[in-house]
C-alpha cells in the first residue's frame, strides 16, 4: 500500500537545535549538527561532542540519500490526527554520510521494504518555518 502525504501534523519541539534542524529542512536542506572541531556528527543534537568534548557546533549538509536501516509499520493511530494515515511506515534511514534519521517512508509497498534499500529525502512543508523530512525509493 502506498502512503498518502499527511496535511495535519504535530509540530516538532521548539528547542533551539530542533528549530535549526527543521528550519534547514524548510529550505530543502538536510543538515545535521556536527562538531566544529573534530567533524563528527552529533545526531540527535546535543551540547557536547561525545568524541572530543567540544561544545563548538556546525551544521553539516548531507546529500539526502541513504539506505533503510530498519522500519516499523504503525497500524493503530494512537493520535487522532493520524487516523486517516495509517498504516504508516516509519523507518530509520542511514544517510550516506553516517547519521541516522527517523522518518516516514513513502512510495513503497510494505511487502517491498528491504533493509539496505536505497532511499532519497524529500520535504513536506507544514508551516513556513517547518518542513518534515521523509524518504522514498531512490
Ligand atoms: Zn568533536
pLDDT: which is higher, 12 or 102:
102
45-103: per-residue pLDDT in tens?
A: 889 999 999 999 999 999 999 999 999 999 998 888 888 889 999 999 999 999 999 99
Angle at 103 between CA 121 and CA 47, to 5 degrees: 100
In a domain, 122, yes or no: yes
Q: Which CATH number characterizes residue 45's domain?
A: 2.40.50.840
Q: Determine the average pLDDT of the residues in 5-24.
A: 81
In a domain, 21, yes or no: yes
Residue 92 and residue 69 in contact, taking contact as beta carbons nearer than 8 Å: yes
Question: What pLDDT does residue 7 have?
Answer: 56
How far, in Å, from the CA of 11 to the mean position of ligand 1?
A: 30
The answer to whether residue 17 scores a pLDDT higher than 90 is no
How far, in Å, from the CA of 49 to the mean position of ligand 1?
A: 5
91-135: per-residue pLDDT in tens?
A: 999 999 999 999 999 999 999 999 999 999 999 988 888 899 999
Nearest alpha-carbon partner for 53 in 70, 32, 38, 71: 38
**Cα–Cα distance measured from residue 20 to residue 9, given in angstroms and rounded to the nearest whole number:** 18
How far, in Å, from the CA of 54 to the mean position of ligand 1?
A: 5
Ion ligand 1: residues, CB < 5 A: 35, 37-38, 49, 51-52, 54
**Cα–Cα distance measured from residue 9 to residue 134, given in angstroms and rounded to the nearest whole number:** 13
Sequence-ordered list of residues with C-beta below 8 angstroms from that of 27, at least 6 positions apart, any chain: none
Residue 89 and residue 113 in contact, taking contact as beta carbons nearer than 8 Å: yes
Question: What pLDDT does residue 3 have?
Answer: 36
Q: Give the DSSP H/E element, type plus range, for residue 24.
A: helix 16-26
How far, in Å, from the CA of 55 to the mean position of ligand 1?
A: 8
Question: What pLDDT does residue 82 have?
Answer: 85
Query: CB neighbours (10 Å) of residue 10?
Result: 8
How far, in Å, from the CA of 42 to the mean position of ligand 1?
A: 9
Number of domains in the chain: 1
Domain range spanning residue 20?
Answer: 16-137
How far, in Å, from the CA of 30 to the mean position of ligand 1?
A: 20
Burial degree of 67 (CB within 10 A; 0-12, 13-18, 19+) = middle
pTM of the model: 0.89
Amino acid at each position: 500500500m502506498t502512503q498518502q502525504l499527511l496535511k495535519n501534523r504535530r509540530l516538532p519541539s521548539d528547542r533551539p537545535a530542533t528549530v535549526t534542524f527543521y528550519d534547514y529542512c524548510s529550505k530543502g536542506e538536510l543538515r545535521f549538527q556536527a562538531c566544529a572541531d573534530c567533524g563528527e556528527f552529533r545526531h540527535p543534537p546535543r551540547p557536547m561532542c561525545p568524541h572530543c568534548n567540544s561544545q563548538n557546533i556546525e551544521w553539516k549538509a548531507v546529500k539526502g540519500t541513504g539506505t533503510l536501516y530498519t522500519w516499523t509499520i504503525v497500524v493503530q493511530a494512537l493520535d487522532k490526527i493520524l487516523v486517516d494515515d495509517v498504516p504508516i511506515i516509519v523507518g530509520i534511514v542511514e544517510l550516506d554520510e553516517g547519521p541516522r534519521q527517523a522518518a516516514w517512508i513513502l512510495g513503497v509497498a510494505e511487502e517491498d521494504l528491504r533493509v539496505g534499500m536505497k532511499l532519497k529525502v524529500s520535504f513536506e512543508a507544514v508551516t513556513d518555518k517547518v518542513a518534515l523530512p521523509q524518504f522514498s525509493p531512490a
